């Protein structure tokens, strides 16, 4: 049994005999087997037990068992108690999700505190098979059919090569007892129904169904690695050129993987792929997606901005902590798009810095007639995101003296008679 686990650890480079690891110990068969195997193999391990106080006396029984086991083996045990019900209510999540969040947050904190290289959890092959079927029932993409991975960051799973039956046989041969979570025997949770009802029926069709599903998920994991390598070429950019994806047979997969980084879900993908130019979608994590002709652009959702009143010369903080500096100086004409120089004699305080609004007009420098800023921005082929971020500066009469970064107004332009300019800098 150990040789099988040892080969799995070696093939996936999970553990180093010289490092310290935490073992998540519930007291159940899987975690007890994991603890025994790593201990007997000579790995440096500490155990970590969570008491979620969800099963009354049974929860305390599990904790007492773990204490006794670790004392007998001479393994240091770390324990924590959670008020899982209250956490679930406060965070509006299910009990299962609450327990998961609490458990893994504590594992990571404890791992850091004791200097452990990783946290070993006792997921086995049947857990992975159940996950595949559960995701299939709920609806999933390729990644959801890959099952449980041997390594996910600091979370390590050395027993994924074993079945539950093999684990129980190992413990029986060792004469090692364990505790049983009574809720795992009740078919009132979807995963339990898969374990207790669906998988037994599938085994009637094919006794090797678990092995076959697991083997398929491993093949899909390898395929996922290849796809990830290709998708990663696009992940660091907030712009996805759809024309570049025509060389692949399915652009939808790349779009989905790219958008997933920003919190968009599968149902939104279907809408994005058929949306008209100019459509905007918002993710639950605070990102906006713009469909702009043959490309997709993502950026953080635009936060509201109050109009900033500039009563006199000085430095002001506007918007997303940008600095706006205003000062008078000797006449010159700026060629820097982030610095505007206008005739100080033609401008009156207070100035106002705000975002562009519908109907805004100005007389662009070098022109005689006025023009809508919306037309100016369209002529410059600005995206909808760029348009809605555009800032303007108005004077006391409401005249737009500067479309920030674009043009100053001809009516306040520096001329031969200008002796002093008002210099405005966005930085």
pLDDT value at 21 more than 70: yes
3-state helix, strand, coil in the chain (%, to 5): 45, 20, 35
Given CATH 3.40.50.300, say whether it is the number of domain 308-426: no
Instruction: Pinpoint the residues of the chain covered by CATH 3.50.40.10.
Output: 308-426
- By CB atoms closer than 10 A (0-12, 13-18, 19+), residue 45 is buried
- By CB atoms closer than 10 A (0-12, 13-18, 19+), residue 47 is buried
pLDDT value at 386 more than 60: yes
Instruction: Show the tokens assigned to 311.
Output: 């009563």
Which residues, in sequence order, are CB contacts of 93 under 8 Å at separation 6+? 101
Q: What is the rounded distance in angstroms from the CA atom of residue 35 to the CA atom of residue 120?
A: 9
pLDDT in tens, 62-111: 999 999 999 999 999 999 999 999 999 999 999 889 999 999 999 999 99
Q: How much is the pLDDT for 188? A: 55
Q: What is the pLDDT confidence band of residue 360, given thresholds at 50, 70 and 90? A: very high
Which residues, in sequence order, are CB contacts of 277 under 8 Å at separation 6+? 291, 292, 293
Give the chain's mean pLDDT: 92
Task: With beta carbons less than 8 A apart as the criterion, state whether 266 and 280 touch.
Answer: no
Which residue's entry shows tokens 């449980």?
148
Q: How much is the pLDDT for 143? A: 85
pLDDT in tens, 198-235: 999 999 999 999 999 999 999 999 988 888 888 888 77
Q: How much is the pLDDT for 234? A: 79
pLDDT value at 185 more than 60: no
Task: With beta carbons less than 8 A apart as the criterion, state whether 83 and 53 touch.
Answer: yes
* Nearest Cα to Cα of residue 198 among 167, 182, 190, 160: 190
Map residue 26 onto helix, strand or coil: coil
Average pLDDT over residues 345-352: 95
Q: How much is the pLDDT for 186? A: 52
Q: How much is the pLDDT for 348? A: 93
Please tell me what DSSP assigns to residue 183: G
Q: How much is the pLDDT for 235? A: 79
pLDDT in tens, 240-287: 888 888 777 777 878 888 888 888 887 788 888 888 888 999 998 999
Overall fold of domain 2-216: Rossmann fold (3.40.50)
Average pLDDT over residues 391-398: 95
Its pTM surpasses 0.85: no
Q: How much is the pLDDT for 181? A: 80
Instruction: Show the tokens assigned to 388.
Output: 């809605």
Beta strand ranges found along 264-367 (DSSP E): 280-282, 287-292, 295-300, 308-310, 314-318, 322-330, 339-343, 351-355, 361-362
Instruction: Pinpoint the residues of the chain covered by CATH 3.40.50.620.
Output: 2-216
DSSP code per residue over 107-134: HHHHHHHHT-SEEE----HHHHHHHHHH
Average pLDDT over residues 134-148: 88
Q: Report the DSSP pairing between strands 322-330 and 371-372.
A: unpaired
């Amino acid at each position: 049994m150990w040789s099988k686990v040892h080969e799995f650890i070696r093939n996936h480079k999970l553990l180093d005999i010289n490092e310290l690891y935490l073992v998540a110990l519930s007291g159940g068969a899987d975690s007890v087997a994991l603890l025994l195997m790593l201990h007997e193999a000579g790995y440096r391990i500490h155990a970590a037990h969570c008491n979620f106080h969800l099963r009354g006396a049974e929860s305390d029984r599990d904790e007492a068992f773990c204490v006794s086991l670790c004392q007998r083996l001479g393994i240091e045990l770390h324990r924590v108690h959670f008020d899982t019900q209250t956490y679930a209510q406060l965070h509006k999540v299910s009990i299962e999700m609450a327990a998961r969040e609490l458990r893994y947050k504590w594992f990571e904190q404890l791992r850091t505190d004791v200097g452990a290289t990783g946290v070993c959890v006792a997921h086995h092959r049947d857990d992975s098979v159940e996950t595949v079927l559960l995701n299939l029932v709920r609806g999933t993409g390729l990644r959801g059919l890959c099952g449980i991975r041997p390594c996910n960051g600091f979370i390590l799973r050395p027993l994924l090569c074993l079945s539950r039956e093999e684990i129980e046989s190992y413990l029986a041969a060792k004469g090692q007892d364990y505790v049983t979570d009574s809720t795992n025997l009740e078919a009132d949770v979807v995963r339990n129904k898969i374990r207790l009802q669906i998988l037994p029926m599938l085994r009637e069709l094919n006794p090797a169904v678990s092995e076959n599903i697991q083997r398929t998920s491993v093949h899909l994991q390898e395929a996922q690695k290849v796809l990830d390598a290709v998708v990663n070429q696009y992940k660091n950019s907030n712009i996805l050129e759809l024309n570049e994806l025509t060389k692949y047979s399915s652009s939808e997969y790349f779009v989905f993987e790219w958008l997933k980084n920003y919190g968009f879900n599968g149902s939104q993908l279907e809408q994005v792929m058929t949306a008209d130019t100019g459509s905007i979608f918002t993710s639950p994590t605070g990102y906006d997606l713009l469909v702009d002709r043959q490309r997709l652009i993502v950026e953080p959702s635009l936060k509201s901005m109050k109009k900033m009143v500039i009563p006199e010369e000085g430095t002001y903080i506007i918007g997303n902590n940008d600095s706006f500096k205003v000062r008078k100086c000797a006449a010159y004409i700026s060629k820097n798009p982030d610095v505007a120089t206008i005739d100080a004699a033609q401008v009156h305080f207070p100035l106002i810095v705000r975002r562009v609004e519908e109907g805004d007009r100005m007389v662009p420098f070098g022109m005689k007639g006025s023009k809508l800023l919306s037309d100016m921005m369209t002529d410059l082929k600005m995206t909808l995101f760029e348009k809605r971020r555009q800032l303007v500066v108005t004077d006391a009469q409401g005249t737009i003296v500067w479309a920030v970064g674009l043009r100053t107004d001809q009516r306040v332009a520096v001329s031969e008679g200008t002796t002093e300019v008002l210099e405005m800098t966005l930085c």
